[in-house]
Structure 1
Amino acid sequence: MLPTPDSYNQLLLHLYRLSHELPLDRFQDAALELVKPVLPFDSSMWGSATLNPAGIDVHTIHLHRQPPEMLLAYEKVKHLDTAALQVARHPASTLGFHADSWFGSPEQEALRAYGKRFSQAHFFISGTFNPTTRFTRWLTLFRANDRAYGTETERVLLAGLMPHVQQALELNRLTHLNQAVVAAGHVAGRGAAIADLRGVLYHSDTAFEQALRAEWDDWRGHALPTVVMKTFLQGATRFMGRDQVLTLRVEHQLLFLQSRPRCAVDELTPREFTVAQLAARGNTHKEIADMLHRSPATVRTQIRSVYDKLCVGNVAGLIETLRLAE
């Protein structure tokens, strides 16, 4: 049953409320369950990708009531997926179709077999495409029943819902990012951003963009610099630049990043940094020596070196200076 204007508005209000209330790992399934009563479907995939000659190159993907092996199987037939290519070639488009009809050519037999394997008899696909970056965001809804044909009214409904669904997803991610920034405390010059595992930036504040431009004169936005991604892909959680430091954590197929100016703490050796953290916790030099299996005299010397490098004279100053490097 199609929603009335009042129920449609209530759906959107509920959607946006969930975007602020739910954690990353629960929001997308909850959002899809909201859509299901007004636009019935059995399973879904929701993601982002780059369009290339071999088909879509997936960056992020959320599978709803589909097994993980579906994506692996799709990689073998994605070059036959003319529907995904059609959606990805337009700034904004929405399709509704019967799989056997759309993928009806003899060359697409493998794609039809894939669809039957994963109960994808009918499709609704809605997406947006940036022709400059060739980056696309899309939502696909699947119906398993071969007789459950979609209607033009339902296609139009999804076209209207898609911008709200995508905006709510972005708000959910931003809410999560903002909570982390608040938890870290305000530090002058600190920026924040969200990127996917390929380095494409989804959100970045002014301070983060200014940090990247200060570090790389030729940075033009859209993606993290290659050297940063190379560092992160090697397993590091911190990139130390000439003037800026970038840190990250990975959650739900996304990179949550923070930038800050380099500070005196960054000049400490790894051993000095460990000693500084323990001293800031209130441990004595003898306690630190026991924990690190070093002599008290060595630790006392390292603590003195830390204080000199950071230009602090007591534990309170040490704590405050270390906070700048969090």
Structure 2
Amino acid sequence: MGERAERDSPDSFNETILGLYEDVFRLAVDRFKEDSLARLRDVIPFDSAIWGSGAEDPQLIFGIAACDFPFERLVAYSVHWQRHDVLRSAVSRRPGACLRNEDLGPVEDHYASEIYREFCGPSGIEHAMGVTLIDPVTNVGELVFLFRADRCAPFSDLERDRLAQIMPHLVAAWRHRLLWHVAGHARTADLSPGGLPGGHAVVDGAGQVHASDAAFGLRMRALFPDWLGPRLPPDLLAATTGAATSVRVCGQTFRLHRGGDRHILSLAAEPALPLSPAEARVAERFASGMTAPRVALDLGISRATVRNHLTAIYEKLGVHSKVELVRKLAELPPG
């Protein structure tokens, strides 16, 4: 009773969360997820666990970490059973909601299912509990599942609530750990993750976003209203594939801190300009030398829309000619 009471105490729960953030500076990046899962045992006992990172639609796996979960079992699940897993599907459809099989219907239905008879039961998985968090802009998600082998030891409501509460801290700690790791390998002098302004993401060489903060997502949604990650929008992806460390797209300057296989893409602070994202796209192209008809063709909008945008741009920026527009935009940080 004493051990369980200690585990259930608020102090123990808070210490576990604090430990996750302290581990950002202590654990190697390739051990962070496994060791973080093991730390959860202090407040939610389990027999095995997995932590996956990636995107759901289309499915893209960045990495899977396991705690006492054999690799061959992961392979068998991915190949044969994931598409039959109603619990995983439900968890993915309801980000932030921690769910167990019994939360979806009578647990007897689960024990009668093919996935239990052919995979879960033989693998020693009697109880499962999972949760996801998915960034609605970048489409990048983190999934954590805990498993127990004793049918007489289901996960309690308290444990379900605790996993839901701790999941945002797991994701935030992992983002910080990944950021510190990439910053340590970046070729930018004196780059410090703590010194980065709000609005940054970790991307790979193919332009896939692996992690980002909320400010990055909000700005990307404003710049690219129809974009859904994890791959960067085409205009931004094309601008970052060269050797430049600063690029300007849709009126926003991005800094690229290049590392090894991953880089940090951050939003540069911008002077306050009253242009909408659509107006910024027109202004950028028009100032670069495109004619108004060419801007319309490039953006897939009508010439009348371009003329209306240019009228608003000239009025908002207080300029009266293309030369003045070029000079005004040149006052911004180089891109």
Q: TM-score, normalised by structure 1?
A: 0.59
User: Does the Cα contact within 8 Å between 1:50 and 1:134 map onto a contact in 2?
Assistant: yes
Q: Which residue of 1 aligns with 2:84?
A: 80
1:80: Cα distance to partner? 0.8
- Equivalent position of 2:96 in the other structure: 92
1:3-42 pair list within 5 angstroms: 3-42=8-47
Any conservation in 2 of the 1:192–1:256 contact (CA below 8 Å)? no
Matched, 1:126 2:131: yes
Segment of structure 1 superposing worse, 172-181 or 79-88: 172-181
Distance across 2 between alignment mates of 1:248 and 1:176: 10
Structure 1: 5+ residue runs without aligned partners? 232-237, 260-326
1:110: Cα distance to partner? Answer: 3.9
Matches within 5 A, 1:131-150: 135-150=140-155
Question: Is 1:51 aligned to 2:59, yes or no?
Answer: no
1:103 is the counterpart of 2:110? yes
User: What does 1:197-276 align with in structure 2 at a 5 Å threshold?
Assistant: 199-203=208-212, 222-225=229-232, 239-240=242-243, 247-250=258-261, 255-257=262-264
User: 218-227 vs 131-140, which deviates more?
Assistant: 218-227
Cα distance in 1 between the residues matched to 2:260 and 2:213: 15
Deviations 1:55-81 (A, max 9, x none): x65343212222222232122211111
Q: Which amino acid aligns with 2:148?
A: R
Cα distance in structure 2, aligned partners of 1:229 and 1:131: 19
Matched, 1:67 2:78: no
SS at match of 2:178: helix
The size of the alignment, in residue pairs, is: 243
Counting only pairs closer than 5 Å after superposition, residues 174-193 of structure 1 correspond to structure 2 as: 174-181=179-186, 184-185=189-190, 193=201
1:173 aligns with 178
Q: Say if 1:64 and 1:180 are closer, same or farther in 2 by CA, change over 3 A.
A: same
Q: Shift of the alpha carbon at 1:219?
A: 9.9
Tell me, in whole angstroms, the C-alpha distance in 2 between the residues paired with 1:102 and 1:202: 37
Are the aligned partners of 1:46 and 1:63 in contact in 2 as well (CA < 8 Å)?
yes
- In 1, Cα distance between equivalents of 2:27 and 2:152: 35
Q: Which amino acid aligns with 1:203?
A: S
1:194 maps to 202
Provide the rounded CA distance (Å) in 1 between the counterparts of 2:183 and 2:215: 14
Distance in structure 1 (CA, Å) of the matches to 2:245 and 2:184: 28
RMSD of the alignment, in Å?
A: 4.4
The one-letter amino acid of 1:87's match is: V
Deviation at 1:36, TM superposition (A): 0.3
Cα distance change, pair 240–221 in 1 and its aligned pair in 2 (3 A) = farther
Gap change, CA 1:184 and 1:169, over 3 Å in 2: same
CA positional deviation for 1:202 = 1.3
TM-superposed deviation, 1:10: 1.9
CA, structure 1 residues 218+51, in 2 after alignment: closer, same or farther (shift >3 Å)?
closer
Q: Give the CA deviation at 1:158.
A: 1.3
Q: Describe the SS at the equivalent of 1:123.
A: strand
Instruction: Give distance in 2, aligned partners of 1:226 and 1:109.
Output: 41
Task: Give the AA of the match of 1:30.
Answer: D
- Structure 1 residues 37-93: Cα deviation after superposition (integer angstroms, max 9, x where no partner): 22101111111343349xx65343212222222232122211111111111112320
Taking structure 2 as the reference length, the TM-score comes to 0.57
**3-state SS, counterpart of residue 249 of structure 1:** coil
Contact 2:125–2:149, Cα closer than 8 Å, also in 1: yes
Question: Does the 8 A contact of 1:81 with 1:111 survive in 2?
Answer: no
Question: Counting strand residues as a fraction of each chain, which structure ranks higher?
Answer: 1
Give 1:145 shift: 2.2
Counterpart residue number, 1:322: none
Distance 1:153 1:42, change over 3 A: same
Change (3 A) 1:130 1:90: farther
Instruction: Note the alpha carbon deviations across 1:223-264, whole angstroms, 9 max, x for none.
Output: 444879999xxxxxx7447985964523xxxx34569xxxxx
Cα offsets for 1:108-142 (capped at 9, x unmatched): 41454222343222111112235666543221011
Tell me the percent identity: 25
Contact 1:46 1:62 (C-alpha < 8 Å) held by counterparts = yes
Structure 2 unmatched runs, 5+: 192-198, 248-254, 267-335
